[in-house]
Amino acid sequence: MGKRLLIVLVFFSLVFNCTVTEEPEFLGLDNIKVVDTNIKNITISADALFNNPNDVGGTLKTDDLKVYINDSKVASFASETFDVPTKKNFKIPLTVAIATDSIIDKKSLGGLLGSLISQNLKVQYKGDIKYNVFGYSSTYEVDKTQNIKIKL
């Protein structure tokens, strides 16, 4: 009986001495860029930047992040679950391959052709990233637009 009590006391001591003072801070979305272009796809990436001041990690995940190019929705995607490191700044890569035929439609053809000639695209990431730890969850809203240069 004494061993079990000691194990329980050590466990609770460790749990309560870990600081979970606040949820990780979402610092923003940065580094939106075209990673690859070919006849079938345009691959775009961005980094979601966070700071976790806590002794515990948790997980981050997005289920329905939307990507817009020149104000037209071209993709929705979900990320894999990302393990949050403790007590540090970190980034989550958000990469999506977009089929070029989904970008070209009748209403956006003129805008896309203008973008290809000027070699600039207006890219927007919009949606939520969800944080979970010990049954607690919170949501971070993502809404970032950036003009990016493409290389053909």
Q: Is 11 or 4 the better-scoring residue by pLDDT?
A: 4
Residue 16 lies in a domain: no
Instruction: Quote the domain boundaries for residue 103.
Output: 21-149
For the cut 80, the answer to whether the pLDDT of residue 146 exceeds it is yes
For the cut 70, the answer to whether the pLDDT of residue 112 exceeds it is no
pLDDT for position 106: 46
The closest alpha carbon to 95, from 82, 105, 113, belongs to 82
Count how many domains the chain has.
1
For the cut 60, the answer to whether the pLDDT of residue 69 exceeds it is yes
Give the residue-averaged pLDDT of 3-11: 55
Give the residue-averaged pLDDT of 110-136: 76
CA–CA dist 17, 67 (Å, integer): 41
Residue type, 122: K
Residue 7 lies in a domain: no
Residue 3 lies in a domain: no
For the cut 50, the answer to whether the pLDDT of residue 91 exceeds it is yes
For the cut 70, the answer to whether the pLDDT of residue 43 exceeds it is yes
How many helices (H) and strands (E) are present in the chain, helices listed first? 3, 9
On whether the CB atoms of residues 97 and 120 are closer than 8 A, the answer is no
- At residue 98, the 3 state secondary structure works out as strand
